[in-house]
Structure 1
Amino acid sequence: MEDIVTAQSGSILRVQLNRPAKRNAMTSAMYVALADILNEAAKDENTRVVLWHGAGDSFCAGNDIDDFLKNPPGPGVSPQARLMEALVNFDKPLVAAVQGAAIGGGTTMLLHCDFIYAGESTKFQLPFINLAVVPEFGSSCLIPVRIGHIRAAELLLLGGPFDASRAAELGLVNQVMPDKDVMARARETAEKLAAKPAAALQAGKRLVKQPFREQIRAAMKAENEEFSVQVRSDDAKEAFNAFLEKRKPDFTRPANAQRT
Structure 2
Amino acid sequence: MVNFICPVLNARLTSPFGWRTISGNKEWHQGIDLASPIAGLKAPIYASADGVVSRAQVLSSYGNVVMIKHSIAGKTYETNYAHLDSYSVKVGQKVKQGQKIGIMGMTGRSYGVHLHFEIHNGIWTSGQPNAVDPMKYISLINSIKENGDELTMSQYNELKNMITELQKENSELKKQLENKLDKQKVRQPLECHKDDWSWFKANGISDGTNPQDYVTREQLATITHRMDSFNTKKFKK
TM-score range, shorter chain: under 0.3
**In proportion to residue count, which structure has more strand?**
2
**In proportion to residue count, which structure has more helix?**
1
Q: TM-score, normalised by structure 1?
A: 0.21
- Structure of larger gyration radius: 2
Q: TM-score, normalised by structure 2?
A: 0.22
